[in-house]
Amino acid sequence: MESEVRSYRTGGDEVVLDLTPDAASFVDGRGDGLLHVFVPHATAGLAILETGAGSDDDLLAALGDLLPADDRWRHRHGSPGHGRSHVMPALVPPYCSVPVLGGELALGTWQSICLVDLNVDNTVRDVRYSFLAG
């Protein structure tokens, strides 16, 4: 298994960040296998979805409806509603796996690997890319 950690600045806003170009560069030329992507944070997740056509904004809106940034959360520190960021990984898990064929991601036409981060208090996220050869 080969593995690498990359850091991303997510800023102070909720974000859906497309990691597909970095994932593709990580697996480039590696042959057949499986890419496993993992976020070692309690308040971030990974999703495979279409980006650029509004789906990324729709995901943030849906999470806002499901997990409002208000004072209902028992986990209280940081910005208002911070506790919801700790619940989000139960809905958007901190991992995903994608087949790799001939050194290329075997994603569907409109699929992208995205980091989902509602936590505006932590502005840098680490992502671990691991390649398991087939």
Digit-coded pLDDT (tens) for 42-94: 999 999 999 989 999 999 999 999 989 888 878 777 777 788 889 999 999 99
Mean pLDDT calculated for residue range 16-41: 97
**pLDDT reported for residue 72:** 85
User: Quick check: helix, strand or coil at residue 93?
Assistant: coil
What share of the chain has pLDDT > 70, as a percent?
100
Higher pLDDT, 85 or 19: 19
**pLDDT reported for residue 120:** 86
Domain 2-133 sits in CATH at 2.60.120.460
- In angstroms, rounded to a whole number, what is the distance separating the alpha carbons of residues 112 and 46? 10
Take residue 11 and report the two structure tokens written for it: 């800023």
- In angstroms, rounded to a whole number, what is the distance separating the alpha carbons of residues 105 and 85? 29
Report DSSP state, residue 89: G
Q: Which helix (H) or strand (E) holds 125?
A: strand 124-133
Rounded to 5 degrees, φ, ψ at 73 are -85, 135
User: Quick check: helix, strand or coil at residue 67?
Assistant: coil
Rounded to 5 degrees, φ, ψ at 42 are -80, -5
Mean pLDDT calculated for residue range 104-133: 95
- In angstroms, rounded to a whole number, what is the distance separating the alpha carbons of residues 134 and 114? 24
* Residue type for position 74: R
What residues does each domain of the chain span? 2-133
